[in-house]
Amino acid sequence: MYTICCGSASLLFIVSYNKSFQARNSVSGNGTRLAVHIRGGDAISYHKLKEHSALLFDISKLAFDSVLRVLQDIGFARVIGSGTSKTVVPTVPYFDNMYETLGSAAEDEGLNELEQMSIHIVNSLAVCPRSKGELASSLGTDSPTMERILRIGKAGSYINEVNVEDESLLVSPLYFAEKPEEFARVVKKHGEASVSKVFKLLRQNPGWPLSKLMQTQEIAGTGLSQDEFQIAMVIVKKGLVQPPEITTSYSGTNEFLFTPPLGTNRILVVEKEIYEKAMACISCVRQGEHFGHWNIKWPSAIIRALLNYGELKPTTLAKEQYRPMCIRGIVRLQKVRGDWWKPVLVDIPENRRALLLALEMLGGGEVLTERGYDSDSVKAIYSDSDYTEAIRGYGNVVQRKKIPKPRQEYEAEIDNLLFDVQKGT
């Protein structure tokens, strides 16, 4: 199951957005936010980074040196030069779990009881809403302490409290940002164990075909009881899971099931646009896995081949199978001969990030590549303009919203493009 939590790292990720925790962990938490945005970047002026950190991440100028020192101590940054030529050289590892490293640093300082309980609660809410009373009992905590934890969680937008039939249930907006009351009602009716099982299976097997689930009452070979199957049907009907669809001439319309994207407007876990691109990638390979004439045996291998070689082998089904990826600008479809087409990667950073995220999701592991990353913040940090011009140019990166083209417009553009390619114009 993919999640944003890994022990003390879950606390670090949360405190980087929440001022309610003590300053000691805020230093590590802010280091987490800063590290993910300079990872892979070029050397940058110390003074410029300091100004941008205050404006983009709310890291006060007085605290900046302490935050940077944490990154230096764990080998995530080097500082060279002095005075106006002072420069920060990012050395954040790309293929290691930097959250575990930062989390270990926080553990070395020690976590207090409140922080440990917060970690337990956030991890518990990752798979489904939980009864407030049962959670408090499992923690062995008194009511005032529990209320304090919830007060901080609500202020930080990572815990919500929902009342269903006179019972208080806790929901994490990080995992269930939309329709939390509906999720809570499903838990109240069917129980935490059954709901957790269904959501775990869907997260471990993203893009599972709805038709296969309905035909076999199984998800990736794991059978569901009648009650668990009803849970799956309820969450689909109520729109509690994401169901992208692919329509082809050879298999009709198929819907592919995904759990909701991670994060909220306030706490960015995965950018929505990148998550949607990753869903499109997975849906396309699932289409080939379950409904192609020659079924794909290893979906991850297809994603990896596109990343490594920039294209896939041509097939007669590619034009229809990979059309959703074409619509989202991830690939272009190149005609080889007759009805044979091959997907060619549109090689831009956003598409590579989406493919890497798709690989992590298919692997059933923890989301590392995208966690907390905001492309607008990175652009502002590495803009050639001074920091005031950059911020003014990019606007408020927290509130800025992108307005996508209507789906019909995208599809019309793709149809026209494919028609032109077919004619050879």
- Residue 414's Cβ-side half-sphere holds a number of Cα atoms within 13 Å equal to 22
Give pLDDT < 50 ranges for the chain.
Answer: 1-9, 19-25, 95, 366, 368-370, 386-414, 416, 419-425
Rounded to the nearest 10 degrees, how much is the dihedral formed by the CA atoms of 176, 179, 181, 183? -50
- Threshold 0.85, pTM exceeds: no
Q: How does pLDDT run across 98-130, given as a tens digit for each residue?
A: 556 666 655 555 566 777 787 788 878 888 899
Amino acid at 422: Q
Predicted pLDDT at 95: 47
Exposure string for 288-311, b = 16+ CB within 10 A, e = fewer: bbbbbeeebeebbebbbebbeeee
**Nearest one of 356, 352, 351 to 367, comparing CA atoms:** 356
Return phi, psi of residue 131, to 5°.
-70, 130
Q: How does pLDDT run across 294-346, given as a tens digit for each residue?
A: 888 899 999 999 999 999 999 999 999 999 999 999 999 999 999 999 999 99
Predicted pLDDT at 25: 45
**How far apart, in whole angstroms, are the C-alpha atoms of residue 387 and residue 377?**
11
| Residues 6 or more apart in contact with residue 176 via CB below 8 angstroms | 129, 183, 240, 260
Q: Domains in the chain, ordered, with CATH?
A: 8-111 (1.10.10), 114-253 (1.10.10.10), 258-384+404-423 (no CATH)
Token digits for 335?
């005609």
**How far apart, in whole angstroms, are the C-alpha atoms of residue 83 and residue 418?**
56
DSSP string, 151-209: HHHHHTTS-EEEEETTEEEEE-TTT--S-HHHHHHHHHHH-HHHHHHHHHHHHHSTTEE
**Structure-token match 């489904």, residue found:** 128
Total count of residues recorded for the chain: 425
